[in-house]
Amino acid sequence: MQIALFGATGGTGQQVLEQVLAAGHSIKALARDPAKLSTREGLSVIQGDVLDQAATDSCVEGTDAVICVLGTTPGSEPVEAAGTERILAAMDKHGVKRLIAVSSMGVGDSIDQVNFAFRIIMNLTLKRIMQAKAEQERLIMASDTDWTIVRPGGLTDAPASGEYRAGLDKSIKAKRVSRADVADFVVKQLADRSYVRRAPAVS
Ligand SMILES: NC(=O)c1ccc[n+]([C@@H]2O[C@H](COP(=O)([O-])OP(=O)(O)OC[C@H]3O[C@@H](n4cnc5c(N)ncnc54)[C@H](OP(=O)(O)O)[C@@H]3O)[C@@H](O)[C@H]2O)c1
């Protein structure tokens, strides 16, 4: 498969990139600074910002599925909803149906899966980002794409362990999970339709 990847230069995005290539797929990645990505077989990089519709269109064109691991750069306006709006428009334009997007536990009906302390942080320092993620999820759920929203707990840079819980079970509480394990779950969704139009947690 050819995968359009948004957020490839980020912590989780780099793990997704490695694992998608290792699984034998190819990638078109949109990057504001392509120098952050080393040249790799199977990887083509398009320079651009997700907020630029033409750049996003060209990343999605000709691909079989889209993976979105965008995150807001500190000090910038939240990118999640505005970026996703462009991605969905590009998918519609180019007839691409499958979307796997990383959001966060605590968004939407996963609010009860995060602890009290995190809810306070969400309402103080992360308020605008969490609002952007809620809007991102709303846009995705309203689309006619075959979407899967992946909601991780607190991200770490630990190596992949394979020891994570994932799924729709509300007993899964927000705990630390490595970006590599989140990427493992994300990449598995390319070959698994169990969570189409669902929002599983990974923790
Ligand atoms: N930190 C946590 O504990 C936690 C918990 C749950 C969920 N999450 C969410 O999980 C996701 C992945 O997190 P992460 O820490 O791995 O991400 P990250 O390192 O912050 O990476 C964000 C990515 O988004 C890209 N990006 C931002 N604005 C862009 C724009 N306008 N156009 C194109 N690309 C843009 C960045 O590109 P540049 O390299 O150009 O900046 C980067 O590749 C995020 O949505 C995050 O909010 C995080």
How far apart are the CA of 29 and the centre of ligand 1, in A?
A: 14
| Span from the CA of 189 to the centroid of ligand 1 (angstroms) | 20
Q: How far is CA 58 from the centre of its chain?
A: 19
Q: Report pLDDT for 121.
A: 86
CA 16 to mean position of chain CA atoms: 9
Q: Is the CB of 78 under 6 A from ligand 1?
A: no
- Contacts made by residues 178-184, CB under 8 angstroms, sequence distance 24+: 179/11, 179/12, 179/14, 179/15, 179/155, 180/15, 180/19, 182/12, 182/15, 182/102, 182/150, 182/152, 182/155, 183/12, 183/15, 183/16, 183/18, 183/19, 184/19, 184/160
Q: Verify whether ligand 1 is closer than 6 Å to residue 200 (CB atom).
A: no
> Is 181 strand, coil or helix?
helix
pLDDT tens, the chain, 203 aa long: 999 999 999 999 999 999 999 999 999 999 999 999 999 999 999 999 999 999 999 999 999 999 999 999 999 999 999 999 999 999 999 999 999 999 999 999 999 999 999 899 888 889 999 999 999 999 999 999 999 999 999 999 999 999 999 999 999 999 999 999 999 999 999 999 999 999 999 99
Cβ of 177 below 6 Å from ligand 1: no
Instruction: For residues 6 and 30, give the distance between their C-alpha atoms in angstroms, rounded to a whole number.
Output: 6
- Give the model's pLDDT for residue 93: 98
CB 50, CB 87: distance < 8 Å: yes
One-letter amino acid of 121: I
Give the ligand 1 atom nearest the CA of 15.
16
- Please state, in angstroms and rounded to a whole number, the distance separating the CA atoms of residues 9 and 17: 9
- At 122 the pLDDT is 85
Ligand 1 mutation pick, 5, 27, 32, max ligand atoms within 8 A of CB = 32
What's the gap in Å between 96 CA and the centre of ligand 1?
23
Ligand 1 in reach of 104 Cβ (< 6 A): yes
pLDDT at residue 49, as a whole number: 98
Residue among 5, 12, 76 whose CB has most ligand 1 atoms within 8 A, to mutate = 12
DSSP 127-175: HHHHHHHHHHHHHHHHSSSEEEEEEE-EEE-PPP-S---EES-TT----
* 36 CB near ligand 1 (under 6 Å): yes
| Residue nearest atom 7 of ligand 1, based on CA coordinates | 104
List, in order of start, the domains of the chain with CATH numbers: 2-202 (3.40.50.720)
Nearest to 108 by CA among 149, 155, 66: 149
